[in-house]
Amino acid sequence: MKKISFIFCYFFVFCSLATMYSQTIKSGEKLVFAGSYNMSGLMTQLAQVTMSTENVTTAKNTYLHLSCELSTYSKWDSFFKIRDLYETYVNPATLKPSLYKRNIDEGGWTKKEKYVFKGNTVNSTSKKRNRPETQKTFTIGASTQDVISLLYKVRTMDLNKFKVGQTQALMIVFDEKQIPVTLKYMGKETINAGNLGSKECYKLSIGAKTDALKGKDKNLIWLTADSKKVPALLKFSIPVGTGQLTLTSASGI
């Protein structure tokens, strides 16, 4: 189940870093997804994923706070209770992160992480369960971002510039290391997008140098083919099975 919860949030980790920006992400957006996993041949809804944005002002700066919260439905809590929260504070114009926080509780297994970004350097603190807190400093590439801010980054891109089959290499930072990811554009399809109704969407395939994902073109995401590029559907394949995230409601977009 730990891998399942990781994948639910991992699917918010990709973007193209070399295209023109077409819009900015605004405060007050809320996206809600139903997270399902294939159990005994049936796609069963287990959890809710909620993504939201808000402005946060400090004495020196204004940030856009991006959050992604994953919670199992109460009827599944006795089987395997998940309460995960991913947060990042970014520059509202560039979406470059300044602070990333991860707080997970999965069946009683807990972990807290905090990354402070300073140029190409990340100062991290990490604590697992009752173990002592550890600290680490490591270097990342100039365009490497955390797993949450990257989805919002891709939504500012002009995906009409992509050709079917075109790929783009990118990089995320997760668990105090960089992970190469490949994005492939696969054309357009019409998808049900919750309260937004039926929408034409950009279809994208995700590949990564990790054993968490399995199969060629089996890990997919559909973004509405408009200026908002709202994630409407996400499908994943991992060594222990398959699942999906389905948009149920979008507000403030």
CB 66 within 8 A of CB 50: no
Sign for the CA dihedral angle at 207, 209, 210, 211 comes to: positive
The pLDDT assigned to 101 comes to: 96
Give me 167's structure tokens: 């790929």
Q: How far apart are CA 186 and CA 207, in angstroms?
A: 13
CB burial class (10 A; 0-12, 13-18, 19+) of residue 171?
Answer: middle
Alpha helices in the chain (DSSP H): 2-10, 74-80, 149-154
The pLDDT assigned to 15 comes to: 33
Q: Which residues of the chain have pLDDT under 50?
A: 2-22, 214-215
Q: How far apart are CA 52 and CA 251, in angstroms?
A: 10
The pLDDT assigned to 240 comes to: 66
Side chain identity at residue 218, one-letter code: K
- SS3 label, residue 149: helix
- SS3 label, residue 236: strand
Which pTM does this prediction carry?
Answer: 0.86
Q: How far apart are CA 86 and CA 108, in angstroms?
A: 17
The pLDDT assigned to 10 comes to: 46
Task: Give the closest residue to 6 by CA, choosing from 156, 114, 106, 145.
Answer: 106
Q: How far apart are CA 208 and CA 10, in angstroms?
A: 10
Q: Pick left, alpha or beta for residue 26 (phi over 0 → left; psi -120 to 50 → alpha; otherwise beta).
A: beta
- The predicted-structure confidence for 138-158, as pLDDT tens digits, reads as follows 999 988 888 898 888 878 877
Task: Give the closest residue to 223 by CA, choosing from 234, 213, 212.
Answer: 234
CB 64 within 8 A of CB 91: yes
